[in-house]
Structure 1
């Protein structure tokens, strides 16, 4: 009887041992499952943040149309005449530093003459000069865009050309946008490719007395009369 009792006790211990072993196996597996899920959640969150940052950087079609009107120039018309550049720095309203096919270089926006940020006496133009600079900085700095290089150079020997803001298959000419908003005047040069449409944009800004056109005599044939806004 004593023998049977011992056997019975031994028999009943096995299920408990098996249960304990099962728990030891299941718990680590469950932990791996949670870790895997955590890693997956982290990756998804990281991807979402990256996409969110990209969305913040790229202007939407609605944003561009709000700034510049209808966006209608397809990329197919620009492929052969533009290069991709990243805007490293905006020095003033119409002068930027880009990194592209020729490395890092300073370029001047063709046909668009914005008020200088630094005046002849060395002081800062805290009116239209700063406003033009701040606008160009908010729209361009850090962005990767299309640059249509002109054959002409500015008086300092820098390259000139047109910046096309990219949005899917549509684009807008930023140089023209500066003129439309009254932050630059039309600069007559030998490069007359877009002169007619830029002149029309200037006439509209002038008629509506936008920014540089809001003060009589501020815009002159040679540039700007900064004494009127100091």
Structure 2
């Protein structure tokens, strides 16, 4: 018998063998299980526990909890749920609530100075004739600007001016590439291979705490910042 023919015979035999067994099994008669069944019932105390369990009571009023604090919270939740489902809330109070939430969001964004592009300071209306956040460090007379804001004891804005002056000094010596939209971290990276980086990082950290963190700063704190900036300026002049 040729080898190829033997191969096909074996393959067909293996294919039909399971089917034949399946047909034989399906033809076997079913045996009914007539063994006795003993039902099991939960104890009476367990049933009572299920009846009183709040997790299983879906279609009737749940009794308040025994704990006074939980009872008060349950009452508060019921009052709130009733108010939110009431006609007065759907017709009027939901709009008041949405307006209050929107006002809170705007307030926190304003405090975080995320809306400075909306609440920009116009030239001539504040302490300086430029818009905070859109300064060009090459057009600011820093000595005059610092004198004006310090006369008004605006130490926060003075800290910003002092930091911008430091950026201008670094730019003039071509140690950093200043751009209005670049981050302070990018300037730190540019100074990473120089001995100026630690002092500049200290100035940057103080500036970000005061300006972006909105930390309070007084004359003494600003004096310390000014000393750091002066020391850093001397390091630059010795290069």
Q: TM-score, normalised by structure 2?
A: 0.24
Q: Name the structure with the higher strand share.
A: 1
Structure ID, larger Rg: 2
Q: Which has the higher helix share?
A: 2
Higher relative contact order (CA 8 A, sep 6+): 1
